[in-house]
Amino acid sequence: NAGVMQNPRHLVRRRGQEARLRCSPMKGHSHVYWYRQLPEEGLKFMVYLQKENIIDESGMPKERFSAEFPKEGPSILRIQQVVRGDSAAYFCASSDMPGNTEAFFGQGTRLTVV
Amino acid sequence: RKEVEQDPGPFNVPEGATVAFNCTYSNSASQSFFWYRQDCRKEPKLLMSVYSSGNEDGRFTAQLNRASQYISLLIRDSKLSDSATYLCVVNPTGTASKLTFGTGTRLQVTL
C-alpha cells in the first residue's frame, strides 16, 4: 500500500511563473490536507479537501493560491505568479475519515522561487 | 502568543541519556495531542498520541496536563537514531484537519 505520494519532490520556478504541486492520497483515503513549512518554522495548515469539495480553506492566502481535489486524479495545489516568499516545503497529508485524527504525510514538494 | 510553543533547542545529549521536551498550547478546547518526529528535510511522522492518563511506547513516554495546557515527551536511553526535530502537535477540532504544529525541538544525540 503506497503512502501519500507527492510530486515533484523539488520544483524551481522564476518569479511570476505558476507552480503546480500534486498529491495522491493513500489508497482508500478521501480526505486531503495541505500544509506549508517555511524555513525554520512549523507546519501551517492551508486547506482541507474531500473529493470535489473544499471543506476548509482558512489557511490559504487570499490571492494566487488555489487547491482542488477532483473526482479522478490527484489533489493539486496551484500557486500563480509565484514570489520569493512562496519558497517553502509543501506537505500533503491524507486520512480515511474525518473522525480519524491520524493523518499520513507525503514527502513534500520543496518549492524554490528564483 | 503562539498556539503551540516549544523550546527550539538544540538539545545535545550523549547516547544513553534521558531527555525531556515540553510544549504548551493556548487553546483550552483542543481535542487531541500528538508528538511527531521530523528528520532533516523529510516529512513529519507520527511518533505517538498523547493522553491525559499518560502513555508509554518503549523508550518514549508522553504526558498531557490539560489544566496547565502542557504536554511533555520523555526519551530514555537515547540512541543516535533519535536525533531529529520533535514536533508538538495539537488538534483543536477532533478531526484530522487543521493540526496545529509547534516549530519543533531539535535533538542531537552524540557518542
Radius of gyration of chain B (CA): 13
State mean pLDDT over A103-109: 92
Half-sphere exposure of residue A45: CA atoms within 13 angstroms, side-chain side: 25
Q: How far is A7 from chain B (nearest CA, A)?
A: 13
- Cβ proximity of A6 and A111 under 8 Å: no
The pLDDT confidence band at residue B107, using thresholds 50, 70 and 90, is very high
Q: Is the dihedral of CA A93, A94, A97, A103 positive or negative?
A: negative
Closest to B109 (Cα-Cα) out of B6, B2, B42, B10: B10
The CA R_g of chain A, rounded to the nearest whole Å, is 13
Q: Given a cut of 90, is residue A64 above it in pLDDT?
A: yes
With CB atoms and an 8 Å threshold, state whether A45 touches B103.
Answer: no
CB contact (8 A) between residue B99 and residue A45: yes
Q: Could you tell me what percent of chain B has a pLDDT over 70?
A: 96
Look at residues B95, B97, B40, B102 and name the one whose alpha carbon lies nearest to residue B71.
B102
Q: Which chain B residues are Cβ-neighbours of A107 within 8 angstroms? A: 42-43
Q: Residue A99 pLDDT more than 60?
A: no
Is B43–A105 a contact, with Cβ atoms under 8 angstroms apart? Answer: yes
- How would residue A18 be classed by pLDDT, with cut points 50, 70 and 90? very high
pLDDT for A111 beyond 70 = yes
Predicted confidence band of residue A100 (pLDDT cuts 50, 70, 90): low
Weakest mean pLDDT among A13-17, B29-33, B37-41: B29-33
Q: Is A32 exposed, middle or buried (0-12, 13-18, 19+ CB in 10 A)?
A: buried
Higher pLDDT residue, A77 or A102? A77
Question: Distance between CA A110 and CA A31 in Å, rounded?
Answer: 22
Is A39 near chain B, with CB under 8 Å?
A: no
Q: Which residue of A has its CA nearest to B37?
A: A105
Instruction: List the single best residue of B46, B97, B106 to mutate versus A (max A Cβ within 10 A).
Output: B97
CA dihedral A3, A79, A40, A100 (to 10 degrees): -40
CA dist., res. A98 & res. B52, Å (int): 22
Spell out which residues of chain B touch residue A88, defining contact as CB-CB under 8 Å: none
User: Backbone phi, then psi, for B82, in 5-degree steps?
Assistant: -80, -10
Q: Is pLDDT of A83 > 80?
A: yes
Average pLDDT on A7-11 reads 97
With a pLDDT cut of 90, the percent of chain A lying above it is: 78
Region A39-51: what's the mean pLDDT?
90
Mean pLDDT of the region B3-18:
94
Find chain A residues with C-beta within 8 A of B64's C-beta.
none
Take residue B49 and report the three cell numbers written for it.
498520541
Q: What is the mean pLDDT of chain B?
A: 92
Under 8 Å CB pairs connecting chains A and B tally to 66
Q: Of A42, A95, A101, which has the smallest distance from its Cβ to B32's Cβ?
A: A101
Instruction: Flag whether residue A28 sits within 8 Å of chain B, measured between CB atoms.
Output: no
**Closest Cα in chain B to A91:** B43
Residues with Cβ within 8 Å of residue A47, at least 6 apart in sequence: A33, A34, A54, A56, A57, A59, A60, A67, A77
Q: Is the preceding peptide bond at B10 cis, omega within 30 degrees of 0?
A: yes
